[in-house]
Amino acid sequence: MKFLKRYKFFMITVLILCIMTMINKRLGMKAMQVTGYSIKEMILVIPPVFILLGLLDIWVPRETMMKYMGEDSGIKGIILAIILGSAAAGPLYGAFPIAGVFMKKGVKFSNVLIFIGAWSTTKIPMFLFEMSALGVSFAITRLLVDIPGIVLIAYTLSLLISKDEVKKMYKNAESM
């Protein structure tokens, strides 16, 4: 029963995929190809992310993270969050486990949000591609708009989310 409860969404999805394949074989096969591609991508991305998480968790002391990205980190915490997020590789779902470790290490909530925002919008490979495909002025303009926007959104969210809710998130991160 516990197994069924735990994998309910997965089993419903497989059932829908099977029904879709019986109704429209071409569409069902296309859906299976997309699913297979996504699983392959996750298998290639998630293990390195978790290895890096383990190393970060063990090698970087909590005091160091708090010094550079904690409550009293100021502008250096913001800059470090942007650099770490921009230098990251992989899809956005890779950022969330890292954000959890950051929270476990005492990183300021707004810096965690800045890291996630930077991961999603300011990646260095994406910036280089934009420079070659869309022009240097476009790429730089987008970056100059995105960075203050990320910081503004992070601080706005930090103000809007209750302190109790943030404490719950940090408590959940501690139990990871």
Specify whether 81 is located in the same domain as 166.
yes
Residues listed for the chain? 176
**pLDDT tens figures, 20-51:** 999 999 999 999 999 889 888 888 877 877 78
Specify whether 97 is located in the same domain as 156.
yes
**pLDDT at residue number 3:** 83
- Give which of 101, 109, 88 is closest to 54, Cα–Cα: 101
Give the lowest-confidence range in 42-51, 79-88, 158-167.
Answer: 42-51
Domain that residue 130 falls in = 60-174
Specify whether 123 is located in the same domain as 168.
yes
52 located within any domain: no
Q: What is the CA radius of gyration of the chain?
A: 20
Residue 76, pLDDT > 90, answer yes
Specify whether 38 is located in the same domain as 64.
no
User: Per-residue confidence at 52, pLDDT binned at 50, 70, 90?
Assistant: confident
**pLDDT tens figures, 138-158:** 999 999 999 999 999 999 999
55 located within any domain: no
141 located within any domain: yes
Residue 57, pLDDT > 80, answer no
53 located within any domain: no
8 located within any domain: yes
146 located within any domain: yes
In the chain, the number of structural domains is 2
Specify whether 39 is located in the same domain as 64.
no
**pLDDT at residue number 93:** 84
54 located within any domain: no
Q: What is the pTM of this model?
A: 0.77
CA 165 to centroid of chain Cα atoms: 19
Specify whether 39 is located in the same domain as 73.
no
Specify whether 84 is located in the same domain as 151.
yes
Specify whether 130 is located in the same domain as 92.
yes
135 located within any domain: yes
What φ, ψ does residue 17 adopt, rounded to 5°? Answer: -65, -40
154 Rama sector, left if φ>0, alpha if ψ -120 to 50, beta otherwise: alpha
Specify whether 65 is located in the same domain as 43.
no
